[in-house]
Amino acid sequence: MKNDVLIVQSIAKQFQKQRAVDDLSFAVKQGEIFALLGPNGAGKTTTIRMLLGIIKPDSGTVNFELGQGGSGPLSSAKLGYLPEDRGLYRDIPILRTLTYMGVLRGLSRKDASARARQWLERVDLGDRVNDKLETLSKGNQQKVQFISAILHTPEFAVLDEPFSGLDPINQESFIEIIRELRDQGMTIVLCAHQMDLVERLADRVLLMNSGRRVLYGTLTQIRDEAQTASKIILSLTDNADLSALESLGMVQHLERRGAGEYAFYLRKGESLHKFLIEVASRVELLGVHTEKTSLHDIFIQAVRRSGESITEDSQ
Amino acid sequence: MNNFRTVLEISRWEFMRWFKLKGMIITFILFVVVGFVISGTRYFLEKKNTTPVNLAVINSAILPQLDFVGSRFVPPATPNETSESDLREMVGRGEIDGLLILRSIDEADLIVPKSPSWQSELEEILSAERRRLKLAAMDVTADQVVDAMMPMTIHLAYHELSRGPSSLAEKIAAGLLIMLMLMGIFNSLACQMVSITGEKQLRVTEQIVSAVTPQQWIDGKILGVSAYAATGTAIVVISSLPFMLVMHLTGSGLPIPIEITNPLNIFVLIVVTLGGFLFWNTFLAAIAATINDPNTSSRSSVLFLPLLPSIAAALIAFKAPESILTRFLGLLPITSPAVLPVRIVLTEVPLWEMSLSLAILIGSIWLMRIVAGRIFRIGMLMYGKEPTLKEMFRWMKEA
């Protein structure tokens, strides 16, 4: 059983009239990838800032247990942070910037420089160490920013939207790196909106909405906790009467997927057998298969159920 | 990493961000060239100078045929029996330009109130007479010729009973010091402004404040940018030294006021200059942290207004260096970096006044640093909305 390396108890933060985080508790275990999810404005960034000591909670406690001599705030050398709202010095060669970042995290200048070179080689930027950041593509800038967060091999890293701006090839590369870091013992808190990637990486998940905890646990646990509907994909003829199916009480909602395919979400506890009998009696079925409920579905449904709409506004 | 090393690393980073070796070398060369052009012009003008110099001579019998005819040296209108001490007092009062006391054929003392621009002319005349005497007194050998060709050694001694009106040299020196101070301050403020608002705009802040405390960050910034300003100022001063020295040796440069050759005064001038850089950089770092976009913020345009009292105070000090108002302004940390250098050059500043001024300035920098750290901590993470003055005062109060 892994130890908890971060214990957050009942933290809250109020900004003027807005309650950004409200009585939030959770724990992060050593060497796991912990996904912190939520719609825009859910309070993720505020939570992260409180974890890192950038802002103080109005109430509650944040304690790290990483051998820093008792519980409490974490030293800079043990911490890595890739903020969502990020940038680096655009007019300075990337090796110099990375060395500086490493030195601020406790590395010697020589060590920081050597590690920066190694990492730049790893992400195919080895021949651009003396280039200025502004000369790199957005994806390559993202790589440099990622390196700046983990250059010093922290014990605990917070990666906020590490995949933004990356093409699928580089996303895969980053997934591999993050897994490697986890396997080397690094504890990682991951925030991302690419649910499919999170699903592939995360050991445990915390879903927030309106500053509160909505779902928390392993993916299996949250699937159970979410009480998500069964998902059945039906292939129907073009002239099928959908209204007859939508009116079925056991259907929570229906999604049209194109090419005659429809995804039906059944209410919790409804029988698949009964549903298929009902459908077959109303329309002609061309094909049937089921799909495991994705994290994306869980996210959408849980947020909707928590009574809050997903705001697309930036935080 | 301990606090000191962190601050040092940040200050090193800030310094290296702005310090461009190539630019500094160009500045150095430019100043040397400009300096030589100015001093050359002055040398030429000095040669044409015919302003009479009232020079009293004691023991003139040592050089019996000393002849000032054709030069601009004229004996003062004083009785022959005037004593050496009376003549020295006259020098101090500025009634005569100098007193030459011949000690031997090889040595003489020259008593002057300030470094004389006519010294080389006098040396030429004295050396010529010495050569003539030497050659006349001995059978000339090669060594004797060499010895005879040696210039006469003059030991320069300054004598002042009390401060008279400030000389042109002193005023120019004071003006140059103020110019250097303001140049350094404006230069560093521009860097500080670009550095901080740039970091906010580039969104570097969050990553940095997760690694270091805001107080460490602002301390490093203030030290680094101030060190950059000090280096720039030092390069200007150093690049001016060669030609100043050459011109001084040839007696054609501007006389160097005695006050800025005094080690204590040099120390105070250096400390007050560094203090000025630190004080204003601390102030500006706090304000810059509250600016989102320097191109659109109304705060950018008024940012340099607090420097105006400094400039006004320097002008007041220039005009009335010993007035009560100037002395008071010399103690206020907001004006002392501009006023104290002027006072040191133009008048005699008591040690207690210099000490008190420096103590107040250093104490103010320390307090300001804490207040600035507080504003910086909150301001650097505020995006989109600039804090009001009321909010800033609240943070200061909390600090």
Q: In sequence order, what DSSP letters do the residues of B189-239 get, joined into one string?
A: HHHHHHHHHHHHHHT-HHHHHTTS-HHHHHHHHHHHHHHHHHHHHHHHHHH
pTM equals 0.72
Q: Check if B4 contacts A (Cβ < 8 Å).
A: no
Q: What does each C-alpha distance from A72 to A30, A46, A152, B34 come to in angstroms?
A: 16, 18, 21, 61
- The predicted pLDDT at position A239 comes to 78
B79 or B308, greater pLDDT? B308
Q: Check if A103 contacts B (Cβ < 8 Å).
A: yes
pLDDT digits (tens, 9 = 90+) for B370-383: 888 888 877 777 66
**Is the Cβ pair A148, B207 closer than 8 Å?**
yes
For residue B167, pLDDT over 70 is answered with no
Q: Check if B13 contacts A (Cβ < 8 Å).
A: yes
For residue B165, pLDDT over 70 is answered with no
In angstroms, the first-to-last Cα distance of chain A is: 36
Query: B82: which DSSP letter?
Result: -
Q: Check if B84 contacts A (Cβ < 8 Å).
A: no
The CA distance from A10 to A26, in Å, is 8
Give chain B positions within 8 Å (CB) of A104: 1, 6, 9-10, 208, 211-212
Q: Check if A288 contacts B (Cβ < 8 Å).
A: no
Please report where in the chains the tokens 């400390």 appear, as a residue: B271
Please report where in the chains the tokens 């040669």 appear, as a residue: B47
Partnered with residue A62 across adjacent β-strands are: A8
The CA distance from A47 to A209, in Å, is 12
Q: Of A185, A157, A183, A162, which is closest to residue A173 (Cα–Cα)?
A: A162
User: From the list A54, A77, A89, which residue is nearest B202 (CB)?
Assistant: A89
Neighbour order of strands in the sheet with A4-15: A18-29, A4-15, A59-64
**Is the Cβ pair A149, B1 closer than 8 Å?**
no
Please report where in the chains the tokens 């204590």 appear, as a residue: B264
For residue B36, pLDDT over 60 is answered with yes
- Closest B-chain CA to A108: B1
> Please, are residues B192 and B288 in contact by the beta-carbon 8 Å criterion?
yes
**Is the Cβ pair A86, B207 closer than 8 Å?**
yes
The CA distance from B328 to B312, in Å, is 14
Min mean pLDDT across A156-160, B167-171, B266-270 is at B167-171
User: From the list A54, A90, A105, which residue is nearest B202 (CB)?
Assistant: A90
- The predicted pLDDT at position A139 comes to 87
**Is the Cβ pair A54, B208 closer than 8 Å?**
no
- The predicted pLDDT at position A12 comes to 93
pLDDT tens string, chain A, 315 residues long: the values are: 678 889 999 999 988 778 889 899 999 999 999 999 888 888 898 999 899 888 889 999 998 887 655 555 567 888 999 988 778 888 899 999 999 999 999 999 999 999 999 999 999 999 999 999 889 988 888 899 999 999 999 999 999 988 887 888 888 989 999 999 999 999 999 988 888 888 888 999 998 888 888 888 888 888 776 656 678 888 888 777 778 787 788 887 788 888 788 888 887 778 888 888 888 888 888 888 887 777 787 777 777 766 544 444 333
For residue B290, pLDDT over 50 is answered with yes
**Is the Cβ pair B202, A148 closer than 8 Å?**
no
Q: Residue A39 corresponds to which tokens in the numbers above?
A: 């719609």
**Residue B396: HSE in the Cβ half-sphere, 13 Å Cα cutoff:** 14
The conformational region for residue B393 under phi > 0 = left, psi -120 to 50 = alpha, else beta, is alpha
User: From the list B9, B13, B203, which residue is nearest A86 (CB)?
Assistant: B203
The CA distance from B255 to B274, in Å, is 26
> Please, are residues A58 and A14 in contact by the beta-carbon 8 Å criterion?
yes
User: From the list B9, B202, B210, which residue is nearest A81 (CB)?
Assistant: B210
What are the structural domains, with CATH classification, of chain B?
3-33+167-398 (no CATH), 53-147 (3.40.190.10)
Predicted confidence band of residue B293 (pLDDT cuts 50, 70, 90)? confident
In angstroms, the first-to-last Cα distance of chain B is: 25
- The predicted pLDDT at position B189 comes to 83
Q: Residue B365 corresponds to which tokens in the numbers above?
A: 């920098």
- The predicted pLDDT at position A313 comes to 39
- The predicted pLDDT at position A308 comes to 47
Please name the residues between 246 and 285 in chain A that touch chain B, using a CB distance below 8 Å.
none
Alpha-carbon Rg for chain A in angstroms: 23
pLDDT digits (tens, 9 = 90+) for B139-155: 777 677 777 777 777 77
- The predicted pLDDT at position B8 comes to 92
The CA distance from A219 to A200, in Å, is 10
**Geometric angle at alpha carbon B371, from B368 and B372, rounded to 5°:** 80
- The predicted pLDDT at position B22 comes to 85
Helices A219-226 and A295-305: crossing angle in degrees, nearest 10, is: 40
Q: What does each C-alpha distance from B49 to A263, B66, B247, B346 come to in angstroms?
A: 103, 21, 16, 25
**Is the Cβ pair A79, B203 closer than 8 Å?**
no
B206 vs chain A: nearest CA distance in angstroms? Answer: 7
- The predicted pLDDT at position A312 comes to 41
